[in-house]
């Protein structure tokens, strides 16, 4: 049984997740010299809960994460968990964010050199207009490069919508923006004058004391790469998406670059027809040293929120892949959301991991000479799963949603190592 990239005419995304990789499974699970430890922390701008820490603004994250930095961890990526774009009202947990911290296992013993202790900085950059555009993002990348020439390293960014009512103190994120409070009709004009949202980008950097910048972080440059996806909608809301993730990123990974951030233009300008595709930009980091090419894994994964806690996400998969040297560098949240009969929310996220190419992965090394085939699918192994819908989900999984079974190895336990027939020049795609 096999499947390729599904046609967009079928808007129901029925798989619990898909794993795309430049490698076959046995190569993915090859031990390397580097092993990572990960810590996943959730923060809320609305209030604390047992598993969620409250911050009044994401600009407080450097202080909130300081204790982890003293243990050798650094921020790998930061992303909102829920996007409620295109919906008539905001969704619960729209102000919930996930910070992923990573450290090489060898750094359990904190080094005495200053090179092991970067400082996390955050800057707030006001943006023009009420939506993100390609011109705005290109200008942002230019500004990031200007900052990098001063010896800092770009970590990532979060787009937010700042209301004049709050004077920018409590940020309502654009990636999951909240509607202004309702008022009587007579006060509507006054409300519109008071509620004047502006876009703002919180930009995170790593910096070091003078003379302590690691050599591979000196002179970093940041480049844009195309990001395009095909989408299906229910009304204005994106209900499914497809993208050729490996084709979009392969040329940059072959250069040894790192994918560190992403921007998608989710909003449709008023008065314009609803598009069947969406565009955006990836941001890649090029280091001054010459790193080897990278292999990659891209995972489309569901995150399920049960009650007030995140119950199912990419965490188990991430911890499993960490044992094989896979580094998480970026998570792309999407506005795709489902509900189950208990009122739990599930949202789809796209997770990007990379690892330096090993000399034993000859199949991918051959791709360094030629381009990846435009047909990026060889044989795909699939399993049947319940159909997702906005109606209550049925079948297995947590909260009624089919999910990866607790980890990478477990989720692929039904696959034999010989089940793949990867052709030269082709990338592997696994539908789970």
Per-position pLDDT tens, the chain of length 432: 333 333 333 334 445 578 999 999 999 999 998 999 999 999 988 877 778 899 999 999 999 999 999 999 999 999 998 886 655 455 666 788 999 999 998 644 444 444 568 999 999 999 887 778 889 999 999 999 999 998 899 999 998 876 543 433 333 443 353 333 444 444 444 443 433 458 889 999 999 987 777 776 777 999 999 999 999 988 878 889 999 999 999 999 999 999 999 999 887 777 777 888 999 999 999 998 878 999 999 999 999 888 777 888 999 999 999 999 999 999 999 999 888 767 788 899 999 999 999 875 434 343 332 222 222 322 222 222 323 332 322 222 323 323 333 333 444 432 233 222 233 344 444 433
HSE at residue 392, side-chain half, CA atoms within 13 A, is: 7
For residue 380, the model assigns a pLDDT of 29
Question: 3-state DSSP call for residue 407?
Answer: coil
Q: Which residues pair with 17 in a beta bridge?
A: 301
Residue 205: both structure tokens together: 């950097």
For residue 92, the model assigns a pLDDT of 60
Question: 3-state DSSP call for residue 270?
Answer: coil
For residue 133, the model assigns a pLDDT of 87
The CA-atom distances, in angstroms, between 153 and each of 160, 217, 263 are: 21, 7, 18
For residue 207, the model assigns a pLDDT of 93
CB 382 within 8 A of CB 307: no
Nearest to 343 by CA among 91, 9, 49, 77: 91
CA 94, CA 177: separation in Å to the nearest integer?
A: 7
Residue 422: both structure tokens together: 């990867």
pTM check: above 0.95? no
For residue 361, the model assigns a pLDDT of 43
Q: Where are the alpha helices (DSSP H) in 298-401?
A: 315-322, 362-365
Q: What are phi and psi of 322, to 5 degrees?
A: -60, -30
CA 346, CA 303: separation in Å to the nearest integer?
A: 5
For residue 43, the model assigns a pLDDT of 93
Question: 3-state DSSP call for residue 58?
Answer: helix
């Amino acid at each position: 049984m096999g499947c390729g990239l599904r046609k967009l005419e079928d808007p129901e995304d029925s798989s619990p997740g898909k794993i795309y990789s430049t490698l076959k499974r046995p190569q993915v699970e090859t031990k390397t010299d580097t092993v990572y430890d990960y810590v996943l922390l959730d923060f809320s701008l609305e209030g604390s809960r047992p598993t969620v820490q409250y911050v009044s603004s994401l600009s407080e994250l450097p202080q909130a994460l300081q204790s982890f930095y003293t243990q050798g961890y650094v921020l790998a990526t930061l992303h909102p968990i829920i996007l409620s774009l295109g919906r008539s009202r905001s969704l619960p947990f729209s102000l919930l964010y996930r910070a992923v911290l990573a450290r090489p296992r060898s750094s359990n013993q904190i080094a005495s050199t200053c090179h092991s202790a970067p400082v996390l900085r955050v800057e707030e950059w006001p943006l023009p207009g009420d939506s993100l555009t390609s011109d705005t993002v290109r200008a942002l990348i230019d500004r990031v490069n200007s900052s990098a020439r001063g010896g800092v390293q770009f970590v990532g960014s979060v787009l937010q919508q700042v209301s004049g009512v709050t004077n920018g103190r409590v940020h309502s994120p654009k990636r999951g923006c909240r509607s202004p409070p309702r008022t009587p009709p007579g006060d509507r004009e006054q409300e519109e004058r008071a509620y004047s949202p502006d876009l703002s980008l919180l930009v995170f950097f790593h910096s070091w004391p003078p003379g302590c910048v690691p050599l591979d972080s000196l002179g970093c440059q940041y480049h844009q790469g195309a990001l395009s996806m095909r989408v299906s909608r229910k009304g204005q809301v994106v209900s499914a998406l497809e993208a050729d993730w490996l084709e979009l990123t392969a040329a940059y990974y072959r250069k040894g670059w790192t994918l560190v951030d992403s921007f998608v233009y989710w909003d449709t300008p008023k008065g314009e027809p609803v598009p069947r595709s969406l565009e955006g930009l990836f941001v890649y980091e090029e280091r001054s040293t010459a790193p080897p090419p990278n292999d990659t894994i891209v995972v489309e994964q569901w995150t399920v929120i049960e009650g007030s806690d995140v119950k199912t996400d990419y965490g188990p998969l991430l911890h499993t892949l960490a044992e094989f040297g896979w580094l998480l560098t970026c998570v792309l949240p999407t506005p795709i959301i489902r509900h189950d009969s208990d009122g739990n929310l599930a949202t789809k996220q796209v997770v990007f991991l990379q690892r330096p190419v090993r000399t034993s992965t000859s199949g991918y090394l051959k791709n360094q000479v030629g381009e990846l085939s435009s047909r990026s699918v060889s044989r795909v192994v699939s399993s049947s799963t319940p159909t997702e819908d906005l109606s209550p989900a049925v079948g297995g999984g947590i909260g009624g949603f089919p999910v990866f079974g607790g980890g990478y190895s477990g989720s692929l336990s039904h696959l034999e190592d010989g089940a793949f027939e990867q052709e030269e020049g082709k990338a592997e795609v696994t539908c789970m």
